[in-house]
Structure 1
Amino acid sequence: MLDFAIFWDWLAFAVRWLHVITGIAWIGSSFYFVALDLGLRQRPGLPAGAFGEEWQVHGGGFYHIQKYLVAPAEMPEHLTWFKWESYMTWLSGFAMLAIVYYAGADLFLIDPNVLDVSVPVGILISLCCLAGGWIVYDLLCRWLIGKADTGLMILLYVILVFMAWGMTHLFTGRAAFLHLGAITATIMSANVFMVIIPNQKIVVADLIAGRKPDPKYGKIAKQRSLHNNYLTLPVLFLMLSNHYPLAFGTEFNWIIASLVFMMGVLIRHYFNSMHARKGNPTWTWLATAILFVIIIWLSTVPKVLTGEPKVTASAAPLIASAEFSKVRDTVMGRCAMCHAAEPSWEGIYHAPKGVMLDTDAGIANNAREIYLQAGRSHAMPPASVTQISDQERALLVTWFEGAGK
């Protein structure tokens, strides 16, 4: 019979793969259409209502593309919609959030030393953050539409910095970064589902009915699409941030997250300017490099520890098991030189992925990962550099499968 922990890990793999595939499809189409939009050229003789056109060559053929700011005079026979990429990216991402962070809330979501709450309360806080982020963003956009776009972007960034600080006071460092990415992705997908596509459907309905569409719907959709474009690079980093403990596991992680957003916006601005043929703003790369150096410096500031980690209720039987003393000796001898508050392995300055195994609570709370990474597989220690034996790996399996269940 397939062990449940192994099945769950493969389920997470399958959903993560789906999330990556749909995310590539969404981001790819987004990047393409923004570049296309910015590269449009105007010329005499364009059809009535056409804003601009562009010629492109790819795959051995030529493409002639024209854009209508509102709509063409008649409804085209074939119309391709770009929406399912966005929807499936969000749905698969939320599934990942549930599989990894909700099902493993006592390990990945909740840190009792940050906010000591029950698993249901932690999940409820997470859901409220996702919904609240979209509500605040949408209200601000509706309030300031067409009035102060630059001011809106600055205000949204200030709110984002506050959110970054707030997330680190609600969840683990990994979960805080993940939730910043999830809130941003929710905003982006909701822009498509609740604003851009509905507005486009109104325009299509007007065309079918023979009415002249109101240009305001295109203007609103264009604003949200521009926001999505600038949010794409920051959200990519945040969704992959669990690989970078130097970012999420350090004292000023919320400032690092805020600066990463700024770096993504600067890089996007460079490419947008190039696509729009508005110059070559190389200063954005210098500014990005400076911000990156600041992030490196911030990651070296020692994190103030708030005391010994607490043992979660589900992990308590693992400490009480007969094998635990031998397991502790194995983990301390084979894993804790890297996975510790102060790693002793040369070149390791922070525990990989923020996983610390230098206390009984740390070992018990991370038992499932120890079981999968060092027991059932040989992923850890990497290349068996600490010379862990097959007998020690078998001990980890026996311990988890016995007391863990």
Structure 2
Amino acid sequence: MSRVDKRPRRAARRTSGAEPVPVPVPVTGSDDSLGEVEERDWAHLLPDLVGKIAGDLLSDDVAEYIRLRAVCKPWRSSTTDPSTLDPRFFPRQWLLIAEEKLRRDGKPERFVNVRTGATLRIELPNPKEYTHHGNTEGLLVLWHSLTDTVCLLNPLTMAFTDLPMMSTVQLTQPLGDGDDNGDGDVIYYSYCNIKAAGVLTDIDNMGRPRSKPTVVLSLNWGMIRTAIVCAEPGDTLWRAVDMSCAGDIECELPAIHGGLAVQGRFFVPNRAGDVLEVEVRPQPRLTYVARQAGDEAQSGLNQRSYLVPSGNDVGAGMLLLRTWGPGNVHYQAFTVDLGNRRLARHEMGGTDTTVFLPSVTLRSSAFPNVVANIAYLKRHMKALMQGLYI
């Protein structure tokens, strides 16, 4: 049965969870003695104080929160267990430096913090069983070869979320080659068609989910056939997302490649440079949230569009990049203003961000081997995943 669980895997090499030894603290007195030594029992700090410190660390980086919980049992009991599909514990800043095939030499995988350049070494599940297909907000998208199931893995907590088999994704799409008889062509999508994923959550003011999360996959088959499907943990089938609102480019669905998860929402771009969002209630569907306007509104048939994190510490913004020309060597960047439902031109210069298409944004100053304030083209992503830039 699909579930969220915490499987017995070895995670990052962190501080031991053994009870700490009381720390002697020298105390000076007013007399002529050398001073007495006071023993302070750090393990038994007030739970509210531990919780406050943990919350401050969590707001900066979930890795620091996990390190605090690893110190001792009393500190763990004073904080929330992060081994659930809870967006507060998503390792959004951590990037796995690996391609589709994971290491098979028994050594831990390398993770890099895109904001600070810090590095973690983490042992992942058996690579003979799991294949890596990208990430969403730091969660790894894995496919299990024996069960055909997709799963999400939080690499810092080793919490798994099992999802339906890819063999259940069977979508009927219009036949091509001018066939207008109304029949459809059944497309069987597989794990190799996964281009992006997201976790949709209804979050309260404290950042906690109000309801069960929904996982979304953006799929591509061939050049123009695209699909978006969704499922909740525990489901046995993937549900198709209605994309009919986006069928306005020469009477065909736009070639949507990928997508981006941002704080419990999932967005996709089309070739024309518009931004759409996946909504799951009352029925799964795509809706427009921002459109190109004025001189920027073009057909988009000779262009590609990508959504990437803004890299801004304030809020959870995203950028839209449109590429064109032979090899897609030219690009324009836009800020996606969700509040005003519009797109505004964005200049990369002086932003301290470097983009690797299709989906990674680094803080330029933390990585001396990358060129600052530019967007690397899609073919450079492979070199990034091999660790050639970081």
Q: TM-score range by the shorter chain?
A: under 0.3
Tell me which protein shows more helix as a share of its residues: 1
What TM-score, normalized by structure 1, do the two folds share? 0.23
What TM-score, normalized by structure 2, do the two folds share? 0.23
| Higher relative contact order structure (alpha carbons within 8 Å, sequence separation ≥ 6) | 1
Q: Specify the structure having the higher radius of gyration (Cα).
A: 1
